[in-house]
Every structure is written in C-alpha cells, then in structure tokens.
Structure 1
Amino acid sequence: MKTLSFSLIIPFFLIAHHVLAQSGNPAILRSELIYEQAPFPECHASTLAETPKGLVAAWFGGTHERHPDVGIWVSSQTGTNWTTPIEVATGVQPDGKRLPCWNPVLFQVPGAELILFYKVGPSPSTWWGLLKRSTDGGKTWSAAERLPDGILGPIKNKPVLLASGALLCPTSSEDHNWRVHFERTSDWGKTWQKTAPINDGINDGAIQPSILFYPNGQLQALCRSQRSGFILETWSKDDGKTWSPLQKTTLPNPNSGTDAVTLKDGRQVLVYNPTSPVMGKSGPRTPLDIAISNDGKTWKTLAVLENEPGEYSYPAVIQTADGLVHVTYTWKRQRIKHVVLDPKKG
C-alpha cells in the first residue's frame, strides 16, 4: 500500500466515505467507512459505544497486527461525519521499548465516564490488560491503568451491566489453550473478581465471548470456536458466576470473532461470518451477516453486510437510545466500516 505523509492525508479524514447499502434491504439505513486514509496501513478489532456526546469508535492500527508500532486509535461521530482518528494509547514501556496494542473495548458508564479497555504485549498468550478513562466523550484520556495480574478485562466484546450494578466482562485467555472465563468489577475497574475457566481448551478451545440477556434471568454467552466449525454457547443462571459446559450452536464459525447484543424488545442480534473452517484451518471471513433471534437458538438473517472477496471480520454491535443498531467491523484490514440498521425492518 502506498504510504502518504500525514500532512497530506489529514484533509481526507474529514469526510467519511459513504458506500451503497445492500440493494433492496430496508433494514440497512447507512453504510460508510469511518475514514478514507490513515497514517497506518492496517487496522483491526473495532469497538463502539454511545456516549452523551455521540458515537465513539476505537480500533488498533499500525504496520500490521503484532508489529510494535500498533496503537489504539479513536474517532467520534459529529453530525454525519467522523472525526480525524487520533492515537490514544501505545505500548511504549518505561524503558522505551514499544510493544503492540490489541483489541480495544469501549464501555460508557451510565451518567459518568467512558472507559477504554485494551491489551499490550508481544502476543495474545503474553499480553496484559489496561484501561483509560475519558470524561469528555473520548476527546481526552487519562493515563493508562494496568489491570491486576491475571485480569485482562473484556477481551474483544463489550461488557454488560448487571442489575446488581456489577460490570460483567466476557473474556478469555490463550496462554494455556483457548479458554473462556468471566471477570466482574463493581467499581468501574478499580477492583476485580474472576471465574475459573469454563473449559479446558483441549477439545473445546474457545475465546471472545459476547453476553446476551433473557427474561428468565439467564445469560447466554456466544463464543468463537477454535476448531469445532460452529459458534459455541454457554448459559448462566446466577448472573455469570457459574456457566454450563460449552455446546455447539447451529451457527457456522470459521475461527473468527463475532459479537452480539440484546435489543430493548428482547430479541437477540448476532454479527458473524457464516462460513466454516477449511480442512482444519480458519475459513474465509466473508460473507459477513447480521442475524436476529427471539430465543438465542433459532436465527434468521437480518442483512448481509458484505459478500465480496476479502476479509470482513471482528464486528462490534450495539443498540443506541433511538432503537437503531450500529455495527463496526474490519474492512479488508484497511479500513473500519460502520453500518446502521433498523431492527424493526428485519
């Protein structure tokens, strides 16, 4: 990819690129690239939050995944446009050595600060968790706070706020097989508790859960599968303290990240690549679909977000106060794409 000087590309940031929505699908209201050009050639792992000042998106960007220059970048939506992405976190260590950043996760504390969770380290098997806080909707950020040893924070997908006031974080580790566990904090990241891994990862390797709510008080977590070829699920009846053994769903998974959210009307929304591994290796990360369900068991496609060759992956999905659904995802590792949908039209 041709490198452009930063001074030349700033003007291109100011207007997001609008692309055609899926032809004939009334659920898709808007589809756009958050930025056109950037001072980094690759990006991945976006996250999205609604703040009192509007939408904020973050992702990691740099030369390529795992490169030491990879940092966390943030953009805010102002009116119909997105602001110039700015780098808000790096992996620079006290001795000057720089390590890559990974998988930012945004969470808006109700009526208070915006929290940015992220990871730093040479690889997912050796990384550690940090967070930053913003009191102005993502414009400025506090110094990084390193999480306690053994606590990673939400690993890819957003945490959920329980009725008890605790923030339940879906997380996982890759230092001893792929294992899912859950962390919680009742004081917005100052102190933590965690469950033991719910799987041993030997035959049921899984990471990157997302959490859904049900009227009977149950929680469902949908997980990325290492080798089963399907999204895996686990259920909790005690606010995420204990979880059932992982089981296959009917949803294909090519060993790629997913995300899900419970809508205000009780339905569930999932964004995923509906493909399977190929000969034991990760399958194609295209197409990218958004599906909807009444019970978390039977799903129907709400929209096909992408179906061309390339990588369209690592989605993040939220529902905003107006009832619309917002999705961001990696677009060919070159851009972050933002799509707005009306779930009532699905």
Structure 2
Amino acid sequence: MKRRTLTSFRHLSFAFLSFYSVQSPAESGNKFGPILSTEIINPRQNVSFCHASTIAYRDGNLVAAWLAGSKEAAKDVGIWVARFSGGHWDDPVRVADGRSPDGEALTTINPVLFSPRSGPLMLFYNRGKLPADWHPLRITSLDGGRTWSKPTALGLGLSGPAKDKPVQLSNGIVISGSSTEDDGWSVHFERSVDGGTTWDVVYPPVGSHRVQAIQPAILDHGHGHLQALVRTKSGFVFSTRSRDWGKTWSGLSPLNIPNPNSGLDAVTLTDGRDLVVGNPLPYAEGKWDRHKLSVFISTDHQTYRNVLDIENQANHEFSYPAVIQSPDGLVHITYTWEKIHIKHVVLDPKRIRTPRQTLLLATVR
C-alpha cells in the first residue's frame, strides 16, 4: 500500500512539475523567464509601413533586413538593413528596391538573409507586385552587411527562399524552403551543393488532397533527416520530411500548431529541441487575425507545446517572425510590430524547460 501511494505521489509530482516548467516561461517579466531583452530595431525610421523581417549572424554581429515604404506592395517599398554592433542597432540603410533594369519602379517581396559557413552573406528577395510576375534576385555582402553588391537574377525556374532562411547541413548542402502562389499555393525546395551559388529544384509528393501551403521553414534533425513546417489555409501548420539530405520529401501532414494563414519560422536548437514561432490562432476565411505571437517547443519533432507568448493583444498585429540561434546559444527573434516597426527579442532557451528535462529532474529528486 505504501509503495502504491509513493508511486502515485511520484506521478502527481511529475505531472505538476511538467505543467509548471512548461507554463512558467510565459510569465515574461520575471528575472527567471526566458526573455532577456526586447527592443525596436528601427525606432527612428521615417516610414509608414514595415514588414517581413529576416535575421542572420555574421562576423560576430547580428544583421537584420526588412521591407519598408509608404504602404504594402507600393512601388517605393524597398529593403532596409541594420547591423547590431557595439551593443546597439545601427541606423537602417536602404540596400535594394524593386526597380527593374529598364527603370520601371516595382515593389519588393520578402527579403531573406542567409549566412553560409564560407562565402559572402546573401540577401534574397523578389521584385514584382503579382506572384506570377515575381523575379527572384540576390545581393551579397563581403563585409558582414555593411555594403552590398548589385542584384543578380537567380537561375531559370528558381523561386528563391519564400520567407525563411535556408539551412546549411553538416555535409555543406544548403536547403531552401520555397513556394509559388500564381497557380494555387504550392511548396517546393531548392537544394545547393556549392554553398548557395547554384540550385536544383525538388518537389514533395502531392497527396489525394492538395494542401494550400507556402513558406517552408527548415528544421535539421541531423544525419540527413530534415523537416519543413509550412503555412497553410487548413487551420494548422503542416509538415513534410526528408531522410536523404533533402533529395526527396514526404507528403504534407498536419501538426498540432494552429495557423491562421500566417507566416512562421523555426530552428533546431543545439540541444536537439525544435523551436517554432508563429501565430497560434484559428483560421477564418478572409480574415487576418495575428494578434498573438507565440513560441512552441518540441522534443520529438512531432508534438509542440506553447511555452511562451511574446505578444498577445487583441486588435493588433504581430507577425512574420524570423528566428536564429547565435553561437552563444541565445535565440534571436525579429517580427513585424504593428506594421510600423521591426522588433527584436532575445531568449535564453535554457530557461525554457520541457517535459523531457522535467522527467530527468523528477527522477533525480
């Protein structure tokens, strides 16, 4: 009887510890929470519209880029870059616009920074207002984002990264999550074996029911095992997997992360856990509710827990996150704040406990 009682107590203790350790990080503002700092990257930028940020780590500094102009899809929307050095963000600099070679003014779409292990820092983006007319371009920087090259077009049939950063695998192969929107939503991948100079297109299989999906975020589970999480119109984030270094991919299947047709990003942490940032809200046709921005963690690459709400304010917008983990282990998240600023949040993932860690703690005790 005593043994049964003790066992029951241990189960209850584990359940309590699991619940507490997963939920407590959401209480931001306490000195033990995972949020180390929050700041606006571009507080003095004199524009009416900002959106679609991206972030990278290069030469010991952070580099961020985003869209800014008079309004979304306007011809004056260009790409701005800022560097974090000396403990602060430098003033943003406009590095690209949508002007075509013949001088026609067009808008720019979704900048994406990529920092390969060798070679220049890369910034991908699209020029053109309608998806059928998007032209994928790339500029590069040899000095950590201070100065940039002139734009060059990607190869024929390529789309470039749709929103989220490419990932370089342990064998040097680079995988980029891409998508098209001109003939229904469809995801694909672009794979480079030369560090991002040239690319091949890879398509996942399409099941009996085609999922309207775009903007894959790549997770690297090691040894050639990959996962991509995608934005959908089906109410949830969907996932596809590869077991051969991105050569082939499975069909899309749903995860337990709500998605209101909103961009997300993800990163595999150095401790093996997956961290996802997105808007976990219901999907409603024709509506754009992005008032809540949250962090999810998974220890099994399949089940995700909401461990932290970065923003949660009705009738406001916090969207299009980008996330990386810097060499010091900290997680950096940038996102659109009310479409008038870009915000930067720094997390310590060691302060985000998950059931696997809690199980070890309960066993030791």
- Say yes or no: TM over 0.5: yes
Shift of 1:216: 5.7
Shift of 1:215: 4.4
Amino acid across the alignment from 1:291: F
Deviations 1:150-207 (A, max 9, x none): 2121110000112332211111011111000000122344322101354489741000
Amino acid across the alignment from 1:326: H
CA distance in 1, matches of 2:175, 2:210: 26
Maintained 8 Å contact 2:239/2:252:
yes
Map of 1:189-338 to 2, 5 A cutoff? Answer: 189-196=196-203, 198-199=205-206, 203-215=210-222, 217-225=224-232, 227-278=233-284, 280-309=285-314, 310-338=316-344
Maintained 8 Å contact 2:118/2:195:
no
Q: Which residue of the partner structure matches residue 63 of structure 1?
A: 70
**Structure 2 unmatched ranges of 5 or more:** 1-26, 353-365
Shift of 1:276: 1.1
Identical pairs, percent: 47
Q: Which residue of the partner structure matches residue 87 of structure 1?
A: 94
> Cα 1:216–1:149, aligned 2, differ >3 Å: closer, same or farther?
closer
Rg comparison, structure with higher value: 2
Amino acid across the alignment from 1:311: E
CA distance in 2, matches of 1:116, 1:319: 18
Aligned residues: 324
Report which of the two has the higher share of helix.
Answer: 2
SS at match of 2:133: coil
* TM-score, structure 2 normalization: 0.85
Root mean square deviation of aligned Cα = 1.7
Deviations 1:227-271 (A, max 9, x none): 210001111111111111111111100000000000111110000
Deviations 1:299-328 (A, max 9, x none): 222321100131100000000000000000
CA distance in 2, matches of 1:281, 1:199: 25
User: Is 1:344 the equivalent of 2:350?
Assistant: yes
Maintained 8 Å contact 1:312/1:331:
yes
Amino acid across the alignment from 1:289: S
> Cα 1:201–1:326, aligned 2, differ >3 Å: closer, same or farther?
farther
Maintained 8 Å contact 1:47/1:157:
yes
CA distance in 2, matches of 1:86, 1:241: 38
CA distance in 1, matches of 2:90, 2:348: 24
Q: Which residue of the partner structure matches residue 152 of structure 2?
A: 145
SS at match of 2:350: helix
* TM-score, structure 1 normalization: 0.90
User: Is 1:47 the equivalent of 2:48?
Assistant: no
Maintained 8 Å contact 1:276/1:283:
no
CA distance in 2, matches of 1:189, 1:120: 20
> Cα 1:207–1:321, aligned 2, differ >3 Å: closer, same or farther?
same
SS at match of 1:67: coil
**Structure 1 unmatched ranges of 5 or more:** 1-20
SS at match of 1:125: helix
> Cα 1:188–1:268, aligned 2, differ >3 Å: closer, same or farther?
same
Shift of 1:107: 1.0
CA distance in 2, matches of 1:99, 1:340: 34
